[in-house]
Amino acid sequence: MTFSIAVSGKGGAGKTTITALLLKNFIKKVKGPILVIDADPNSNLNEALGVEIKNTVGDLREKFLKSKDNLPPELSKEDHLSYLIQSSMVETDDFDFIAMGRPEGPGCYCFINNILRKILDTISKHYPLVLIDTEAGLEHFSRRTTRDLELLLIITDPTISGARTAKRIKELCKELHISIGKTLLIVNRVSSYVKERIDELVKISGVDYAGIIPEDPLIQQFNSEGKPLFDLPSSSIALNAVSNIVDEIILQLIKRQVLL
């Protein structure tokens, strides 16, 4: 059984940052391999995690399309593509990583994208936990590149517009019949905590509240020095806040579904 978590929200809300901090937590608290998928075409999760991408799935699809007529006949197209994807996966001691890259190019990609989706679903089944950083905007939900999820985390900054985006994301998932076990809201970059203000954002979003992540000067410092957020020290206030949300809510959800 796989527990899939997608991190979504308005552009710049902190999706990639929180995905990195969640992963850091899960590695300590969850047994078994973790698959991390960067589903943002403008991939930068790898930088936050300090890993290098060999090829994105989009790159491999292009290579495959160019070479598909010269493949050995004994190899099915699906097996060949599956092999390409598995060999491009970044494997570390703590997690495996795959970047989706560009979803489309000129021409029709429906057929190949369907094969890719099937391959990724098969790969995901080998992991008890899959963590997905999504792109800003809602198109990926409409394109159905976001698959069924056990947990959708919606990140918002402490603004009304972020909370409204959270509401739209939740509504769209419902309209599109994406099966989601639980949807939770995280309010990020909170510099002065005022309970009434947070309550108002939660109410506007209509999403169940998971917690806040404070504005963390260490994150800015790491970014300006080009250091991976994955190396944030345990003194990071954002890392500690993510840790509390994981302990108090997310681990319970995971344990209920998957025996880890």
Ligand X SMILES: Nc1ncnc2c1ncn2[C@@H]1O[C@H](COP(=O)(O)OP(=O)(O)OP(=O)(O)O)[C@@H](O)[C@H]1O
**Least distance (Å) from Mg ion to the CB of residue 82?**
27
**Residue from the set 5, 6, 16, 101 that interacts with ligand X by CB under 6 A:** 16
The one of ligand X, Mg ion, none whose footprint includes residue 240, by CB under 5 to 8 A per kind, is none
Number of residues that bind Mg ion (CB under 5 A): 2
Q: How far apart are CA 40 and CA 134, in angstroms?
A: 5
Between 206 and 228, CB nearer to Mg ion: 228
**Least distance (Å) from ligand X to the CB of residue 61?**
22
Between 39 and 81, CB nearer to ligand X: 39
Structure tokens at 165: 């985006």
| Helices 195-205, 160-175: crossing angle, 10 deg rounding | 30
Asked if 12 touches ligand X (CB under 6 A), the answer is: yes
3-state secondary structure of 16: helix
Alpha helices (H) along 30-89: 45-49, 57-67, 77-88
CA dist list (Å): 247 to 118, 134, 193, 199, 231: 32, 23, 21, 22, 20
Q: How far apart are CA 95 and CA 32, in angstroms?
A: 9
CB 7 within 8 A of CB 245: no
**Residue from the set 6, 13, 84, 186 that interacts with ligand X by CB under 6 A:** 13
Which residues, other chains included, contact 79 with Cβ-Cβ below 8 Å and sequence gap of 6+?
Answer: none
User: Which of the stretches 78-86, 103-111, 169-177, 218-226 binds ligand X when contact is defined by CB under 6 A?
Assistant: 218-226
99-158 binders of ligand X (CB under 6 A): 136
Asked if 188 touches ligand X (CB under 6 A), the answer is: yes
Structure tokens at 148: 């069924």
Between 151 and 155, CB nearer to Mg ion: 155
- Pairing between strand 96-99 and 3-9? unpaired
**Least distance (Å) from Mg ion to the CB of residue 16?**
3
**Residue from the set 10, 15, 61, 167 that interacts with Mg ion by CB under 5 A:** 15
39-98 binders of ligand X (CB under 6 A): 40
Asked if 244 touches ligand X (CB under 6 A), the answer is: no
Radius of gyration of the chain measured on its C-alpha atoms: 19
User: Which of the stretches 64-72, 102-110, 200-208, 211-219 binds ligand X when contact is defined by CB under 6 A?
Assistant: 211-219
Sign of CA dihedral 18, 23, 25, 29: positive
The one of Mg ion, ligand X, none whose footprint includes residue 228, by CB under 5 to 8 A per kind, is none
CB 3 within 8 A of CB 257: yes
Residue 142 belongs to what H/E stretch?
Answer: helix 139-142
User: Which of the stretches 15-23, 31-39, 75-83, 117-125 binds ligand X when contact is defined by CB under 6 A?
Assistant: 15-23
Please give the residue ranges that form the binding site for ligand X (CB under 6 A): 9, 11-17, 40, 136, 188-189, 213, 215-216, 219-220, 223, 238
Tell me which residues touch Mg ion (CB under 5 A). 15-16
